[in-house]
């Protein structure tokens, strides 16, 4: 299994995490998830690797989160995943997957747990 980073190059934390991976000797597969969005099945698989719920990785700032009313508890897990598939900017970043596990690397130091 290789190392993968779900990356947004416009995000400083994501850029710094990518550099930390490279500095540690990894040559990660970089998935610019805004250009190549995950479908619902891909998001579910990633959440399983993270052992997380959709709410755990929802990004609010700079997204349609508030406009969509995603803080309302009425939304099911599958519905939230559907919103994330339709609006990939709702997925918090960066997410890193290595042979040692998967982490949402906010703060970026969390990447140290899996490299």
Q: For the chain, what is the domain count?
A: 1
| Residue 54, pLDDT score | 98
- Return the closest-CA partner of residue 4 out of 22, 31, 43: 31
Boundaries of domain holding 49:
4-113
Q: Which CATH number do you get for residue 52? A: 3.40.30.10
Its pTM stands at 0.94
pLDDT digits (tens, 9 = 90+) for 36-78: 999 999 999 999 999 999 999 999 999 999 999 999 999 999 9
Active-site hit among 11, 52, 68, 114? 11
Question: Which region holds residue 69: left if phi is over 0, alpha if psi is between -120 and 50, else beta?
Answer: left
Question: Helix axis angle, 77-86 relative to 40-50, nearest 10°?
Answer: 120
Rounded distance between C-alpha atoms, residue 77 and residue 33, angstroms: 20
Active site residue 105: no
| Residue 1, pLDDT score | 62
């Amino acid at each position: 299994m290789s190392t993968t980073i779900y990356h947004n190059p416009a995000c400083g934390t994501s850029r710094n995490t990518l550099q930390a991976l490279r500095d540690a000797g990894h040559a990660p597969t970089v998935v610019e998830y805004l250009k190549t969005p995950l479908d619902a099945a891909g998001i579910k698989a990633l959440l399983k690797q993270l052992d997380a719920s959709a709410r755990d990785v929802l990004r609010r700032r700079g997204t349609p989160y508030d406009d969509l009313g995603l803080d309302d508890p009425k939304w099911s897990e599958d519905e939230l995943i559907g919103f994330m598939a339709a609006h990939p900017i709702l997925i918090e970043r960066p997410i890193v997957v290595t042979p040692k596990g998967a982490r949402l690397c906010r703060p970026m130091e969390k990447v140290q747990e899996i490299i």
